[in-house]
Amino acid sequence: MTHFLDIHKTGKAELRGIIDAALRMKQARGNRTKGAADDELPLAGRMVALIFEKPSTRTRVSFDVGVRQMGGQTMVLSGADMQLGHGETIADTARVLSRYVDLIMIRTFDESVLEEMAQYASVPVINGLTDRSHPCQIMADVMTYEEHRGPIKGRKVVWCGDGNNVCTSFLHAAAQFGFDFTFTGPVQLDPEMEFVGLARNAGVSVTIERDPVRAVEGADLVLADTWVSMHDAQSARERRHNMLRPYQVNEALMTHAKPDALFMHCLPAHRGEEVTSEVMDGPQSVIFDEAENRLHAQKAIMRYCLGV
């Protein structure tokens, strides 16, 4: 079964094939209207289940539109609709859904839910996000960088802020695509050392630098993400803001990166917190290309999983 669970669990050649396919499909769409079908309809007659235990804008819309553009149909299910893992075991839900649909995308909290779904499903499962990783987003980010600046291999990528699930998937990607990675943030929010080690063992440089100015020196790509989750209590929000304020990406910080460095953010962003509007709306920002490329990257991932 060809699942897409995490970047480090997918082969380098397969990942390269997904990025190249996404770029080709984006180019092939040309000036076609947004709602129009692709020239090829590889998902014709296919049904895709989109399961959301977490709220979503970009993941939900991009997967739904992508399936429809490729001729398939979607069934969107929320955690409340399914009582996932409560009224019925995840294993049994996976077995039942596999009798109805051709592909399952799940956006959930605990990584174990994703893993159990994949273990018992007899159709491919795609990780739409867990608390630990976000591989579809990073595939879109790699695609976006290469669309603007060419191969990401050997480049310096700098993550500012919290070593969260998106940061984790960037470490996975560093190992597989061969770029150097620098994390700058408070020690309390360091990325998981397991994945720092994974990237280093793959032969790439991974640096943890507390000084954000030193961290971004010579950077080809600078990234940020929200400082707080929608589920965090107010007291936790205040503590995080105090810890992370020195790591805000602003115009002054970006001057220390390369002149042609790009800025990315997976969105939604809290303008004026982790990044200023001047950077988000500035000439180095490619955040909306990045958001669009979720659509194209995920279409390529679905085709990879289904072998079509």
Distance CA 224, CA 160 (A): 5
Closest CA to 32 of 273, 295, 281: 295
Token digits for 279?
């950077």
Place of tokens 């000036």: 31
Question: What is residue 307's three-state secondary structure?
Answer: coil
Distance CA 286, CA 265 (A): 8
Q: Is 149 exposed, middle or buried (0-12, 13-18, 19+ CB in 10 A)?
A: middle
Q: Report the catalytic residues.
A: 107, 134, 137, 225, 266, 294
**Helix pair 90-100, 111-120: axis angle to 10 deg:** 50
Place of tokens 């669309």: 147
Strand partners, 88: 84
